[in-house]
């Protein structure tokens, strides 16, 4: 479908007439990148979001035989963010992702990485787990040299893990991952993972991948479905057009890949176009 005029977002915009078509397109994109990653590096590093939007997408990956070619045995599955609740709590992202997807595909148990949200310091533990899987040193506090930080603060001088494909969602308030407007984790410049808390975090507290880690990814996909989100997308496009990225108020605008790709996957309702018209 045609990209709606006026909806200018960074990266590429993919619009499908219906949510079901969109999930299919997204699954094909995931599969292509997964196969390419395994061919290039022998592994596919995947990070998944929670929320209600991706649930039918995860189920589709399991039920549609076209997607059986995803190389699950070579896949590591990471969590983009998580609420600090037990896995069997209905609010657990991992619980949902396990039930809808991971329990039904041939992924190795040791390559599934729930966030240790109930431990005292989940950020440090998850960073270590990432560091081991990517064979990198864990992140260290910044040195004197300016790094790749974008909105003040100093960035880590060390190498960042490069996730192959990160699936993000977007809330009505423009949050993504558990990076909420006005919340402390927006300012994290060297940690890969942060605990995020405070009045804007709903429900608090959360654990989230940070901008430095997300923006280092090779491919980022933002999945947005439904008319309810159309107004937010319009506001974001207008903010980007008139004032540029404003992560403090619209956290999704802080998603600016260092060298990877950013692709928006919208159904016609979210894109604000008539689903019956095709390009």
Which residue, 171, 170, 143, is CA-closest to 157?
Answer: 143
Q: Does residue 95 bind ligand 6PG (CB under 6 A)?
A: no
143 CB-near residues (< 8 Å, 6+ apart): 154, 157
Number of residues counted as binding ligand 6PG (CB under 6 A): 14
Stretch that binds ligand 6PG, among 25-33, 47-55, 101-109, 115-123 (CB under 6 A): 47-55
Q: Does residue 92 bind ligand 6PG (CB under 6 A)?
A: no
Minimum CB distance to ligand 6PG, residue 135 (Å): 27
Query: What are the start-end ranges of the E strands in 161-232?
Result: 165-168, 193-196, 206-209, 219-224
Which residue, 255, 153, 152, is CA-closest to 213?
Answer: 255
Q: Are 175 and 251 in contact (CB under 8 A)?
A: yes
Minimum CB distance to ligand 6PG, residue 198 (Å): 16
Q: Does residue 52 bind ligand 6PG (CB under 6 A)?
A: yes
Question: Alpha-carbon distance 43 to 218, whole Å?
Answer: 13
Which residue, 215, 214, 216, 234, is CA-closest to 224?
Answer: 234
Residue from 26, 31, 70, 80 in contact with ligand 6PG (CB under 6 A):
80
Question: Alpha-carbon distance 34 to 42, whole Å?
Answer: 10
65 CB-near residues (< 8 Å, 6+ apart): none
Which residues 134-193 are close enough to bind ligand 6PG by CB under 6 A?
169-171, 175-177
70: helix, strand or coil: coil
CB-nearest residue to ligand 6PG: 169
Minimum CB distance to ligand 6PG, residue 54 (Å): 7
Minimum CB distance to ligand 6PG, residue 196 (Å): 11
Q: Does residue 50 bind ligand 6PG (CB under 6 A)?
A: yes
Backbone angles phi, psi at 57, to 5 degrees: -65, -45
Residue from 53, 75, 156, 210 in contact with ligand 6PG (CB under 6 A):
53
Q: Which is nearer to ligand 6PG, 34 or 179 (CB)?
A: 179
Q: Which is nearer to ligand 6PG, 74 or 165 (CB)?
A: 165
Minimum CB distance to ligand 6PG, residue 240 (Å): 19
Residue from 51, 158, 205, 257 in contact with ligand 6PG (CB under 6 A):
51
Query: Which helix (H) or strand (E) is 26 found in, with range?
Result: helix 19-41
Interaction site with ligand 6PG (CB under 6 A): 49-53, 80-81, 93, 169-171, 175-177
């Amino acid at each position: 479908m045609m990209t709606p005029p006026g909806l200018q977002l960074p990266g590429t915009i993919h619009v499908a007439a219906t949510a079901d078509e969109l999930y299919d397109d997204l699954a094909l994109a995931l599969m292509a990148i997964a196969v390419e990653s395994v061919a290039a590096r022998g592994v596919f590093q995947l990070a998944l979001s929670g929320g209600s939007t991706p649930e039918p997408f995860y189920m589709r990956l399991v039920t549609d035989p076209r997607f059986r070619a995803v190389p699950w045995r070579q896949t590591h599955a990471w969590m983009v963010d998580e609420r600090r609740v037990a896995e069997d709590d209905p609010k657990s992202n991992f619980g949902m992702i396990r039930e809808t997807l991971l329990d039904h595909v041939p992924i190795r148990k040791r390559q599934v990485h729930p966030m240790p949200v109930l431990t005292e310091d989940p950020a440090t533990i998850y960073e270590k787990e990432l560091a081991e899987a990517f064979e990198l040193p864990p992140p260290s506090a910044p040195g004197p040299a300016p790094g790749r930080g974008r909105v003040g603060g100093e960035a880590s001088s060390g190498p960042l893990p490069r996730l192959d494909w990160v699936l993000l969602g977007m809330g009505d308030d423009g949050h993504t991952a558990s990076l909420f407007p006005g919340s402390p984790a927006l300012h994290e410049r060297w940690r890969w993972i942060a605990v995020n808390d405070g009045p804007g975090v709903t429900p608090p507290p959360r654990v989230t991948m940070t901008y430095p880690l997300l923006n280092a990814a090779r491919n980022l996909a933002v999945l947005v479905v439904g008319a309810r989100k159309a107004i937010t997308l319009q506001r974001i496009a207008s903010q980007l057009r008139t004032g540029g990225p404003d992560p403090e108020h619209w956290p999704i605008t802080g998603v600016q890949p260092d060298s990877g790709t950013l692709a928006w996957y919208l159904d016609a309702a979210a894109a604000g176009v008539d689903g019956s018209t095709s390009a």
